[in-house]
């Protein structure tokens, strides 16, 4: 008789436990059915070629950047009002105050069959690279401040050229 009561008790407890599990499963199913599934964000980044004939440089940059400031010998590209890329071919380095002299490396590289000196520095927090290169065709320094995310793109697409020759007056 005692075993029969224990068997019935186990059966009733198992039945109650199964009902609670079923109720929890229904609740979870309902919550999952009303939660929208996230749609993948489609981003197609296009690249734009930029040329500055005074400095004799050409490089690619993402179309997400906007040209904020541009002069004949410098330009600044921003994204959401944050500087991402800047360059200048003035005689004086405009980014010199931001460069830590302890983190500077100078290297002679062969570029387009010519040897040029390149000075590379990185901010302490790693957010920007500072590059000082000389256009081998003009012997003119070009100073860059490049966001670390853009550095590989600029490094691989940068091309030096001769400046545009002035138009003859006669």
Q: What is the pLDDT of residues 51-64, one digit of tens each?
A: 999 898 999 999 88
- Residues with Cβ within 8 Å of 12's Cβ and at least 6 positions away in sequence, in order, are none
pTM for the model = 0.66
Q: Which of 34-43, 63-72, 91-100, 153-162 has the highest mean pLDDT?
A: 63-72
Rounded distance between C-alpha atoms, residue 62 and residue 153, angstroms:
9
* pLDDT, tens digit, 9 for 90 and up, residues 88-142: 998 888 888 887 777 777 777 666 666 777 777 877 777 888 888 888 888 888 9
CA atoms within 13 A on the CB side of 54: 11
- Rounded alpha-carbon distances, angstroms, from residue 126 to 27, 38, 86, 110, 158: 48, 33, 16, 26, 21
Contact 144, 50 (CB under 8 A): no
Q: pLDDT band for position 87 (50/70/90)? A: very high
User: Which class does domain 47-160 fall in?
Assistant: mainly beta
């Amino acid at each position: 008789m005692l075993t029969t009561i224990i068997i019935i008790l186990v059966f009733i407890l198992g039945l109650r436990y199964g009902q609670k599990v079923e109720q929890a499963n229904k609740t979870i199913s309902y919550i999952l059915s009303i939660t929208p599934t996230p749609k993948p964000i489609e981003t197609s980044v296009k690249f734009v070629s930029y040329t500055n004939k005074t400095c004799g440089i050409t490089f690619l940059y993402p179309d997400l950047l906007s040209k904020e400031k541009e002069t004949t010998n410098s330009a600044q590209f921003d994204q959401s009002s944050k500087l991402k890329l800047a360059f200048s071919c003035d005689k004086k380095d405009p980014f010199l105050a931001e460069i830590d002299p302890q983190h500077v490396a100078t290297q002679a590289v062969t570029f387009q069959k010519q040897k040029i000196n390149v000075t590379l520095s990185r901010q302490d927090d790693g957010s920007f690279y500072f590059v000082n290169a000389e256009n081998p065709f003009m012997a003119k320094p070009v100073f860059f401040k490049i966001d670390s995310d853009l550095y590989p793109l600029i490094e691989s697409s940068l091309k030096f050229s001769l400046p545009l020759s002035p138009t003859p007056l006669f």
